[in-house]
A = this chain, B = another copy of it.
């Protein structure tokens, strides 16, 4: 190997390795002239302290892992962008893991991260499973973990969420105000906390306005585009809803496609509102009324939360919860002519 390392740089400069090392740490005492000399030579020889050696020595990696269910989704890419920004400011690197909503992958990822590769984890859970206890198995040695958006309620760890209950309530109320009486709620995973919370807002809004609730109108969808197409078309033709509230943006798109196919006119025959971070919602046909979560901000907050924990583990700050506010943006898909 002809690659550069601290020893060679030391030889080249006739200094000891410790002095070299000091030139790269901010705290240590070192003559500013030698430091300059070292840094210059380092640049010339393209030397950088080896990351793995440093981290082995310091027992930390300056790396965090981000685990998300999917990537091709505006919400998550925006959130990751937010995380990225904050991480970069703090000198941290980011590892990305995509679970494709598979519980097994989630477990595997988390387990493998506990080998020093990452100092902390930011995760939006897959929610496929019932048993989240694997997270507790690590005991006191579990890496600092921050949930965002999709969380496991039974795991005690800091989290960044939005006021989903409230948003759902208002979204449903909005549909009612626009004259809907048969409002379907489309969800991907009823049992996942996020599905439940959002559903409760829906239920309570119906109750408040004395709109009769019908079990069928809660439509459990899947993660497959084809399956959803079938499910939604069937729901539209069988249940004949006049309003649809979807818990994730993908289901709103599927609803649009279904309506195109079935020749159902939005908003005339069916009004649609959805959780969505799509920036071009105004460009849809018709423009989509959305509950828009501050995705980037959620990512930023999650990262900040993690870094405060990382900065002083001593604090062991008790399970913290940050709640951000979503905005309902009314557009043509719920318009009343």
Question: Which has the most chain B C-beta neighbours within 10 Å: A112, A260, A280?
Answer: A280
A52 near B116: Cβ-Cβ < 8 Å: yes
B285 near A48: Cβ-Cβ < 8 Å: no
How far apart are A117's CB and chain B's nearest CB, in angstroms?
4
A137 near B46: Cβ-Cβ < 8 Å: yes
Q: Which residues of B contact A55 (CB under 8 A)?
A: 52
- What CA separation (Å) do A138 and B94 show in the bound complex? 24
Question: Which has the most chain B C-beta neighbours within 10 Å: A2, A51, A94, A111?
Answer: A51
Q: Is A224 an interface residue (CB 8 A)?
A: no
Using A51-B117, A284-B285 as known contacts, say yes or no to A71 and B61 having CB atoms under 8 A apart: no
Contact count band on A: 35 or more
Question: Which has the most chain B C-beta neighbours within 10 Å: A74, A115, A137, A253?
Answer: A115
Q: Which residues of B contact A95 (CB under 8 A)?
A: 63, 93-96
A1-60 contacts to B (CB < 8 Å): 1-4, 46, 48-53, 55-56, 59
Of A75-83, A197-205, A232-240, which binds chain B?
A: A75-83
Q: Is A275 an interface residue (CB 8 A)?
A: no
A51 near B94: Cβ-Cβ < 8 Å: no
- What CA separation (Å) do A51 and B52 show in the bound complex? 9
Q: Is A330 an interface residue (CB 8 A)?
A: no
User: Closest residue of chain B to A60, judged by CB?
Assistant: B52
Q: Is A98 an interface residue (CB 8 A)?
A: yes
Using A56-B53, A98-B81 as known contacts, say yes or no to A48 and B112 having CB atoms under 8 A apart: yes
Using A77-B77, A98-B84, A253-B283 as known contacts, say yes or no to A93 and B117 having CB atoms under 8 A apart: yes
Q: Is A287 an interface residue (CB 8 A)?
A: yes
Q: Is A148 an interface residue (CB 8 A)?
A: no
- What CA separation (Å) do A282 and B115 show in the bound complex? 45
User: Closest residue of chain B to A85, judged by CB?
Assistant: B98
A51 near B115: Cβ-Cβ < 8 Å: yes
Q: Is A286 an interface residue (CB 8 A)?
A: yes
Q: Which residues of B contact A70 (CB under 8 A)?
A: 81
Q: Is A72 an interface residue (CB 8 A)?
A: yes
Q: Is A208 an interface residue (CB 8 A)?
A: no
B71 near A72: Cβ-Cβ < 8 Å: no
Using A50-B116, A56-B56, A116-B51 as known contacts, say yes or no to A96 and B94 having CB atoms under 8 A apart: yes
14 pairs from A and B in contact (CB 8 Å cutoff): A4-B141, A50-B56, A63-B95, A71-B84, A72-B77, A72-B78, A72-B81, A80-B96, A81-B98, A93-B117, A94-B97, A283-B285, A284-B284, A285-B285
